[in-house]
Amino acid sequence: MISAEDLASLVKSYNPKSNSDLIIAAYNYGREKHEGQFRKSGEPYYTHPVAVSVILANQKLDDASIITGLLHDTIEDTASTKQEIAELFSPEIAMLVDGVTNLTKMQLSSTATKEAENTRKLLMAIAKDMRVMLVKLADRLHNMSTIRAMTPEKQVQKARETMDIFAPLAGRMGMQSMREELEDLAFRVLNPEGRTSILRRFITLQKETGDVVDRISTDMRTELAKAGIEATVYGRAKKPYSIWRKMQEKELSFSRLSDIYGFRVITQNEADCYRVLGVIHQRWRAVPGRFKDYISQPKTNGYRSIHTTVKGRDGKQVEVQMRTQQMHDVAETGVAAHWSYKDGSRSENPFTVDPVRWIRELIEQFDTDEDPTAFLEAVKLEMYSDKVFCFTPKGEVIKLPRGATPIDFAYAIHTRIGHRTVGAKVDGLRYPLYKPLRNGQTIEVITAQGQMPHVDWLEMVVTGKAKTAINKSIKEQVRDQYILMGREFARAAFEHVNKKATDKALETAAKKLNLPSVDDMLAKLGSNDIRPRDVVHAVYSDLGHVEVENIDKQRAVIGLSKGQQVNRDICCQPLPGERIVGIKATGRGVIVHAIDCGLLEMFENNPAKWLDLHWHVGKHPAIYNVTMAMTISNDAGVLGHICTLIGEQQANISDLEFVDRRQDFYTIHMDVDLRDLEHFHSVLSSLEAENEVTSVVRLRRPDIVKSRILKAKG
């Protein structure tokens, strides 16, 4: 748990005018009031409000919000009163604390009438002061991250409430990072098997393809540098829930799902966003229909960015987002950017929107005596702003992704209706099949016997169900053409390895690929459902195998002079596969640091000490130590199971330290010997997939960095 002084320093780092004494006083007041209270996990209760205040500080919010985070449970759970808080701190803070208390008392997951009533109260509280909701979201985020201590029934209730109310509300407020975290934590409770399955698929994918994110990020940086564009590139695999949702919406398996990796390019200015787009499209092939310009047409929550999807390495589709730093701040923190501070003043971000206007307009549309169900439906339509809710002539609701057309609507009802669609009426009037639908419209689909899908429909639809059905129908129509194309692909692929695509070879390949016939295999080959090299390898499995060179420790690093000794520093523990630099150290040879190590700032003014180093490409021995911090359940056999998992990944545990022992959980630091960055991700993913592991992260050593920098500054 962070100390009062460290919390005050954290706030001071972005707001020099912050009242540190008041923050420290609130910290001590809250700790005193919660003395003797404990959480379900056995931790002192006050660790929770402190964690909430840290989340708010990381969003760079004002003093009142930070102090509200520290005191948000005092009125409800202690003898503290609103009047006492007003006298000791301020009427503003007392009002915020009271507002959060009232939100906490609401039972949002209840009957429709009660849910609508409480949802109205929730929105009115937000409209009064948005910071009440920011504190509540931080409170819910920390509670969800520690939900394992609750009963299973309580976990499901809170997770469902989070998924239905808080996560969508965070998304509607533009707080995308908060929404993704809340959704994934709720998903972990509501569908642990689904989440574990996706994580395990990631482990397998990483073994097969290596660190795709690092390779593509490096390629992008190289291309941008050639074009003279200064930008920062971030890459990551998407959250498990985000992937699961796409699988459900598009009705695809994990193996057929594209763009599971996302990349962000943060530029210096708006013009560079479009320059980056040109560079990306010149280097990689753009996927048709996957370009969106939210800079020229921002979303209602203030979101601005350019989105495109391209085919990267190995034909993998990846999504790339381009935006400026100010746009990025709004994209990540939404309305929180309206309250954030920079250099002691409220940050004036031109891309933030009025944080409460849409809520006030929504409340004003409905009188308190109107149908609560209608109000609740309107709220959900607003919060699920990435969805479109339309109606059949009989009044049935059809939920579609934003951008869906009447053809999507027809296929959502039934595949047969989709195939036979020839037109549509929207609210009684003829409506183009290519035009996107809007919330609340009533759609009547016009069909005709003998009608079949057209190829150009694929450009009009956005749902996976429609695309899959259309593709299947078109493939059936052109099956003979695909067989001819597939036969030609097979011939070329076999000739590439000096073999012939004989009937016997093709029959063997079809059998090995578990396909009913050669024609089925050729049809799939012609339609790109399978790759030519898969057909060849089904017959000649040893072709294309490349031996990977073993790299010993003496040859691990490239860029050293003859006789120079090299050592990894413990502050960042760099691994083969990561970008590194070397620092010449008297009597210690060359010290290798990760490129993002905080300690490097000590040597900014001494370029003579720097060496440009690279890891040798190949198979390194598992001798590179990395410290992993993890929290695991305190149950019989859990630690042994964790050690077995790491051993199964061919990694060795060289040290183990118990940092904290509690009744329900352990916090441990484990040193693991690894080969490279890919090996680390495999171990990390296998641990994250276990229900007994609450959290696991790579432990850098900021304490060492800080102490050395302070010592150097003397």
* Crossing angle of the two packed helices 47-58 and 4-14, in degrees rounded to 10: 10
Amino acid (one-letter) located at 677: L
Are 622 and 646 contacting, i.e. CB atoms less than 8 angstroms apart?
no
Read off the DSSP letter of residue 218: H
Which contiguous run of DSSP H or E holds residue 483? helix 479-496
CA distances from 457 to 415, 466, 697 (A): 14, 9, 46
Amino acid (one-letter) located at 637: G
Buried/exposed 2-23: b ≥16 CB within 10 Å, e otherwise: bebeebbebbbebbeebbbebb
Measured in whole angstroms, how far is the alpha carbon of residue 635 from the centre of its chain? 30
Residue 76 annotated to the active site:
yes
Residue 456 annotated to the active site:
no
CA distances from 329 to 55, 127, 134 (A): 15, 22, 15
Are 233 and 217 contacting, i.e. CB atoms less than 8 angstroms apart?
yes
Rounded Cα distance between 107 and 118, Å, is 7
Amino acid (one-letter) located at 636: A
Q: Which two tokens stand for residue 222?
A: 């190289």
Rounded Cα distance between 651 and 672, Å, is 7
Are 241 and 195 contacting, i.e. CB atoms less than 8 angstroms apart?
yes
Buried/exposed 90-100: b ≥16 CB within 10 Å, e otherwise: eebbbbbbbbb
Phi/psi-derived region of residue 577, left when phi > 0, alpha when psi is between -120 and 50, beta in every other case: left
CA distances from 607 to 563, 582, 585 (A): 21, 11, 13
Counting Cβ atoms within 10 Å, is residue 126 exposed (0-12), middle (13-18) or buried (19+)?
buried
Are 176 and 262 contacting, i.e. CB atoms less than 8 angstroms apart?
no
Of residues 76, 219, 223, 520, which has the active-site annotation? 76
Read off the DSSP letter of residue 663: S
CA 292-438-463 angle, to 5 degrees, is: 60
Backbone angles phi, psi at 28, to 5 degrees: -70, -35
Rounded Cα distance between 522 and 494, Å, is 14
Of 274, 258, 235, 233, whose CA–CA distance to 311 is shortest?
258
Dihedral angle, C-alpha 665, 669, 670, 671, nearest 10 °: 180
Of residues 77, 84, 519, 520, which has the active-site annotation? 77
Total count of residues recorded for the chain: 714
Q: Which residues pair with 566 in a beta bridge?
A: 590
How many CB atoms neighbour CB 389 within 10 A?
17
Of 5, 9, 6, 12, whose CA–CA distance to 342 is shortest?
12
Q: Are strands 341-342 and 345-346 parallel, antiparallel or unpaired?
A: antiparallel
Active site residues: 76-77
